[in-house]
Each structure stands twice: as structure tokens, then as C-alpha cells.
Amino acid sequence: MDSSANPKKVKLFDTTLRDGTQGSGVSLSVEDKLKIAQSLDRIGVHYIEGGWPGSNPKDEQFFKQGRELKLKQAKLTAFGSTRRKDKTAHQDPNLRAIVGVKTPVACIFGKSWDLHVVHALRSTLPENLNMISDSIRFLKSRGLEVIYDAEHFFDGFKANPEYALSTLKTAWQAGAGNLTLCDTNGGSIPSQIVNAFRTVTSFLPEASFGIHTHNDSECAVANAISAVEEGATLVQGTINGYGERCGNANLISIIANLKLKLNINCTGDKELTALTEVSRYISEIANFVPSAHQPYVGSAAFAHKGGVHVAAMARHSGTYEHIDPAIVGNQRRILISELSGQANILLKARELKLDFSKNSDALKNVIHAVKRMEQEGYQFEGAEGSFANLVRKAIGQHRTFFDLLSFRVSMEKNMRTGQDISLATLKLVVKGEERHTVSEGDGPVNALDNALRKALEEFYPSLKTVTLTDFKVRVINAEAGTKAKVRVLIESRDHKDKWGTVGVSENIIDASWHALVDSVEYKLLKEENGLTVQRKKRG
């Protein structure tokens, strides 16, 4: 990373707790919002827009409890609109509610597009200017810092540039500390943002400008960065791009781009390393699966699969990575597949602390086995445990911890209660002793897992710390109908690590059994040989 900082100052304005909650499937409790606010402060956000006071009890409660948060630098910000056309600013309940929550900052939006003034507000263009001016002056008189959101600015600028500019001038003269231009419909592209910014910065050279973009044209982050390059000193966005319709500008990507591509110290180096953890933590709070392909922080953002790529990476990481993943708290991943070359196998084995010579027969055997097994339907992406076991077999470091004699799985449905009962019966030989166990479970795989643990935990107590955290089934060759093969991926974890294993069969129970056995063997071999997978941090 270039250490020479751009002297330009850019402040970060997060609206995950307000605009982000308008996204489909997003619902946050007060406690959720408080946790997110603390995480935002951790990555150096300057303004946290907590909600719209007066619109719902949840936002009122958040602001009440939010005053107790010990934020290092972030300022809680209340959101609202300009006064109603038939009220004075002093009478307007929306503005009074903003003052009532006692935040140091208010962000209010007003109309920039004449179409909205006439059809949405059913007002006149002069009266809209009065509404903007009166509202800002009222909030300023109560001691608040005011950020003015020029709603639909870019659409208004296209339709009636003279009037759109007059709304900005009115807001600035009334005392707004920042004029944030909003691409509310998300339909603009970077060249249009640039053209508008060049006009407004010439029109009001003394003013401070911000940018608020939506992602309906897949340009939200690019539009925000373009605005900064043209003079914006405040950038609004949401974590992971949550928001209405196609979402808002992703503040995670914006922060990384400003800091790493433009060398703008919008946040500190330490805060930057928390981006990945905070992104995934907020995903969990919002009950979303983190996007693997999200730039900078996704689990696939620095994943390398092609043999040519990995061979080059082994020589110099800059060949196929635009930054060091550790800078944003992420990590490099080497993926194993039928596309793997020698470099993939060696680097992945080294990552798993399994080292063997590049020219050894073992390496050739592993490459051959991977390609053959992938042809049969196996997939080693996300199945590091199975891959580690495969390597150990090739280099003579693998051993079995029990021998299976037989297993049987049955399911019974009680038609009166509707309850499903799965039962697994298992016969094993463990350390020379035969064990016969029977266990019930919430489904046949869970029953089989319970029976296996029951048989082994007496001999291998460390298995008590292992939990099965995910179970996925994929039909490989659907055209074969009921004779199709299935691939089962199991994710397990203990108090230190998380690992995946895979099994393939025409029988889903048999495939699950192989994945379960791989998981157990990986855990026990890991302990014997000090093998440790990189622990995945959580917020």
C-alpha cells in the first residue's frame, strides 16, 4: 500500500440503520442496531444515521439507548424531511422529533426535482425553497450540525438544472454544513455524476458537497468514487450495500477504494484491517449469508483456482492480487479442483502444514486422485478436511481410527402426531473392541452422526468438542433421475477451527457417511500431528 496520503479530507456517512433497513429481507431489532453502531465506529465511520425519529417506536428507542454508547469518533445522526408545506418549521412534528432525540447531527432531505415538488408534494417551486430554508434554519437554531440531502438531485438536474441548483444554494445559505447530492433512483452513470459535480462545484465553490448513490444501474460505488474525485468530501453508503431495490453504495468497497486506490485517509490502517470481520458480522446480524464474491471482503475475493494463476502466485502474489488481503482483514485461499496444477496442490498442502517435495510421486498421485475424484463428482472447494486426508494417504501419514462392520438407518413417521423419527444402528471395531450403538436424530444423517459419536467418544474424548454446523446436498447428474449421484458437503467445527468434508454416492446416506468419517478422521489426525486450519474470525 502506498503510504503517501492524499491530503484531501473525506468523511464517511453510514446509513445502514436507516436506508439499509429499507432493503428487502432486512429487519433489525434495537439491540441489533446498537451492535451495528459499535461496529461502524470500529471501522472509523464519522456519521451513523440511526433512523427517522417519530416514524416508529424502534428508532425512538435506538436513539434513547444510543446516547449511552461509548463511540470513539462517530456521531449519531437523526434523519428526516423538510417541513410540511402547511406547517412552520417550529410546528412541524418531524423536525421537533429530530430535536427531541438529542443527536448532535441532523440529516434532512428536500426536493431537488421540480417533478417531485409539483406531483409528490403538490406544492410550488418557490414554496419548496422556503421549506428547505426554514427547516435548516430551525435545526441550526437548536444547535445541530445539518447535512442536507438533495433528493433526486441528478434527475432534477437533467430536467431543470436551474431549479435544482437553486435548491442547493438555498440550503447552503440557510446554514447546511454539507450538501449531499443523491442519485435516489440509482439510474445515473459515472460520466453523469462527473458532469453534475463540475457544475455544482463551480456554481457554489465555497460549499461542501457529499454523495449518496443507489445501485440500480450497478454503478453506485463507481459513482461515489467519481464524486469524490470531483470534490465530494462526504460519502454516504451502507455496509455490504444493503438498501431498497438493488441496494445502496457499498460502504465497505468505498472505504477500501478511497484508502487504497486514492490514498485518502478516510479511516486508519488499523480500522481498515477490520473491514472483513465487520462486514461478515453485520451480515450475521442481518441474517444474510455473506456474499463470497463481494470485493475486498468476500471469501472468494482472494481465492485462486486455475493452475496457471496459482503457479504465478507462488512466485509473486502481485501477479493475480491487486492488494495484500491482510490489509482489509481477509486471507488468500488456494482452491483444489480438476483445474489444479502442482502449484495448487503444494500451496494448499503447505497451508494445511503438509509439506512434500514438488517432484515426488506423492504429488503426482494427489493430482491424479483429485482429477479422478472430481470427475466422479467430488468437489474439494470448501472441503479442506477431505483434501488433507487425501494428501495424508498419498504421503503415508494417514491412519484409520475404527473399522465399520455395518450400519442401518431407518425412518418412522407417526401419522397421528406428524412426527418423524430417524434411527441409526451402527457396528464398529474401535481399538480392537466391537461397539454396537443405536441413536435417534432429527433426520437420518443426524441419527447416524449421533450413533458414530456415541461409539467413538469413549475412545476419543476430543470428539465431544466437534459440532456439525452445515450440511449441503447437491444432485450431480440430475438426468439420471433416482439413480443420480449426490454430493454431500459437511462443515464441522471445534473450539479452534472450522473444516469441510465431502462424500459422493448414488445413496445420500452413504455419501453422508463418507463425509462424516472424513470429518472425524481429519479432527483426530489434526490433533495427532498439530495440523491447524486458519481460524475464521467472527465479529
- The enclosing H or E element of 247 equals none
pLDDT tens across 494-536, in order?
Answer: 988 889 999 999 999 999 999 999 999 999 998 887 644 443 4
pLDDT tens across 93-129, in order?
Answer: 999 999 999 999 999 999 999 999 999 999 999 999 9
Domains and CATH numbers, the chain: 11-267 (3.20.20.70), 305-394 (no CATH), 402-459 (3.30.160.740)
β-bridge mates for residue 6, sequence order:
264
* Contact (CB, 8 A) for 341 and 308: yes
Contacts of residue 119, defined as CB under 8 A and 6 or more positions apart, other chains included, come to none
What sign for the dihedral angle of Cα 237, 243, 248, 251? positive
Q: Is 45 helix (H, G, I), strand (E, B) or coil?
A: coil
Q: How far apart are CA 22 and CA 184, in angstroms?
A: 13
The angle, 0 to 180 degrees and rounded to 10, between the axes of the packed helices 508-529 and 444-456 is 30
Q: How far apart are CA 453 and CA 460, in angstroms?
A: 9
pLDDT tens across 180-213, in order?
Answer: 999 999 999 999 999 999 999 999 999 999 999 9
| pLDDT mean over 27-49 | 97
Task: Give the helix, strand, coil percentages of the chain, each rounded to 5.
Answer: 40, 20, 35
- Looking at the predicted structure, is the pLDDT value of residue 3 above 60? no
Average pLDDT, the chain: 90
Q: Which of 530, 502, 506, 529 has its CA nearest to residue 518?
A: 502
User: What is the share, in percent, of the chain residues with pLDDT greater than 90?
Assistant: 69
Tell me, yes or no, if the pTM score tops 0.85.
no
Q: How far apart are CA 333 and CA 301, in angstroms?
A: 9
Residue 152 cell numbers, joined: 433526486
* Block residue for cell numbers 474470525: 537
CB atoms within 10 A of CB 318: 11
Q: How far apart are CA 238 and CA 251, in angstroms?
A: 5
Residue 265 cell numbers, joined: 485517509
pLDDT value of residue 341:
63
Q: How far apart are CA 527 and CA 288, in angstroms?
A: 33
pLDDT tens across 237-274, in order?
Answer: 999 999 999 999 999 999 999 999 999 999 999 999 99
